[in-house]
């Protein structure tokens, strides 16, 4: 048995029905490759889609957006390559990566950096692609600029901090309570305890009143007001998620501050678009400026235990959860 199949929505994780099927290796058509998946990260969007919370999801299907593995069929120049990838359509609008084999267009396939193991490579996708796409659309951090990351110890937050510090930015990061930064960074990360410190006051005071040039708000509404107050003139704030949908919005402060809001939905980025982003990230991984998330045995699951992997993600696992088909 080598492939997960989900056929219907579920009210909650306990009610979720995952079928484990035995699927033979498919053959690649013209312009396609077959990848034997070695590792596949489990993202919150994977679990939400599996429960039926994505209105554009198809049924039945195999879940999963991220992958790393070996090309076993397709163009001769790709055979035997160890590759990595992700796609907003995978596991939602078509069969995805939580199975032994993935059929995908050859144009979306990229060799992984040699410095990143296959196990680690399958856990890179969504967090780093989301981080990069938001930063790209906000103008990218510059050396000496200031970044504020709300939700700094989340995986998108950590990926954002890695990229920003690698590019020479100064980084402030927010968490709900007093926490040390848990990820890799190429520079110091000033953690802000939102339960005891004013986010805006700390950023303003420690930048001589300048504020943050880019805010990556991975949480949304809880930090919206203070993040706005921390923004420098001409700054951008990036959103990928929220708790409350409507928020109070000061239009006067927005236009006087010459601010920009950037919304990022990586479900709209297909496998080819994600491959283009990995092209930009790969040299930074190869040089060591970026590092993959560590993948621990306690967070690595077989397909037969996929439901527990999904449960761990739904419950807010602090480490990257990975399936090994």
Q: Are residues 34 and 65 in the same domain?
A: yes
- Asked if the model's pLDDT at residue 103 lies above 90, the reply is yes
| C-alpha gyration radius of the chain | 20
Q: Are residues 101 and 192 in the same domain?
A: no
Q: Is 69 contained in some domain?
A: yes
User: Mean pLDDT across the stretch 120-138?
Assistant: 98
Q: Are 69 and 37 in contact (CB under 8 A)?
A: yes
Q: Is 91 contained in some domain?
A: yes
Nearest Cα to 160, choosing from 181, 186, 132? Answer: 132
Q: Is 257 contained in some domain?
A: yes
pLDDT digits (tens, 9 = 90+) for 20-60: 999 999 999 999 999 999 999 999 999 999 999 998 899 99
Q: Is 65 contained in some domain?
A: yes
pLDDT at position 56, please?
Answer: 87
- Asked if the model's pLDDT at residue 1 lies above 90, the reply is no
User: Mean pLDDT across the stretch 298-319?
Assistant: 96
Q: Are residues 97 and 84 in the same domain?
A: yes
Q: Are residues 183 and 146 in the same domain?
A: yes
Residue-range definition of the domain harbouring residue 132 = 127-263
Q: Are residues 135 and 259 in the same domain?
A: yes
pLDDT band at 138; cut points 50, 70, 90: very high
pLDDT at position 7, please?
Answer: 96
- Asked if the model's pLDDT at residue 178 lies above 90, the reply is yes
Q: Are residues 56 and 181 in the same domain?
A: no
Q: Are residues 22 and 64 in the same domain?
A: yes
Q: Is 286 contained in some domain?
A: no
Q: Is 167 contained in some domain?
A: yes
Q: Is 0.85 surpassed by the pTM of this model?
A: yes
Q: What is the CATH number of the domain that holds 136?
A: 3.40.50.720
User: Where do runs of H (alpha helix) occur along the chain?
Assistant: 44-51, 118-121, 125-137, 155-166, 199-206, 224-230, 251-256, 271-287, 306-314
Q: Are residues 162 and 200 in the same domain?
A: yes
- Asked if the model's pLDDT at residue 72 lies above 90, the reply is yes
pLDDT at position 153, please?
Answer: 98
| Domain tally, the chain | 2
pLDDT at position 60, please?
Answer: 97
Q: Is 275 contained in some domain?
A: no
Partner residues linked to 231 by β-bridges: 212
Q: Is 220 contained in some domain?
A: yes
């Amino acid at each position: 048995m080598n492939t997960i199949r989900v056929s219907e929505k579920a009210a909650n994780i306990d009610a979720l029905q995952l079928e484990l099927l035995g699927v033979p290796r498919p053959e690649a058509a013209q312009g396609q490759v077959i990848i034997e998946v070695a590792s596949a990260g489990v993202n919150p969007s994977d679990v939400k889609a599996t429960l039926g919370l994505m209105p554009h999801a198809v049924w039945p299907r195999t879940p999963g957006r991220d992958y790393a593995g070996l090309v076993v069929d397709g163009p001769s120049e790709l055979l035997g390559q160890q590759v990595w990838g992700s796609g907003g359509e995978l596991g939602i609008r078509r069969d995805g990566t939580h199975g032994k084999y993935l059929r995908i267009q050859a144009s979306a396939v990229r060799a992984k950096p040699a410095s990143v193991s296959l196990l680690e490579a399958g856990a890179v996708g969504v967090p780093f692609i989301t981080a990069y796409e938001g930063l790209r659309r906000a103008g990218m951090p510059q050396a000496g600029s200031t970044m504020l990351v709300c939700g700094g110890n989340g995986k998108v937050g950590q990926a954002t901090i890695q990229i920003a510090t690698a590019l020479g930015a100064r980084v402030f990061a927010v968490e709900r309570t007093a926490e040390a930064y848990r990820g890799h960074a190429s520079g110091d990360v000033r953690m802000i305890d939102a339960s005891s410190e004013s986010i805006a006051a700390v950023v303003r005071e420690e930048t001589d009143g300048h504020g943050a040039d880019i805010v990556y708000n991975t949480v949304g509404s809880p930090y919206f007001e203070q993040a706005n107050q921390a923004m420098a003139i001409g700054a951008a704030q990036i959103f990928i998620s929220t708790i409350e949908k409507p928020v109070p919005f000061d239009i006067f402060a927005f236009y006087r501050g010459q601010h920009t809001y950037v919304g990022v939905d990586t479900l709209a980025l297909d496998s080819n678009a994600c491959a283009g982003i990995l092209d930009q990230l790969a040299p930074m991984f190869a040089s060591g400026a970026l590092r993959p998330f560590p993948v621990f045995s306690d967070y690595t699951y077989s397909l037969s235990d996929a439901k527990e992997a999904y449960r761990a993600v739904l419950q807010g696992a602090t480490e990257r959860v990975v399936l090994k088909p």
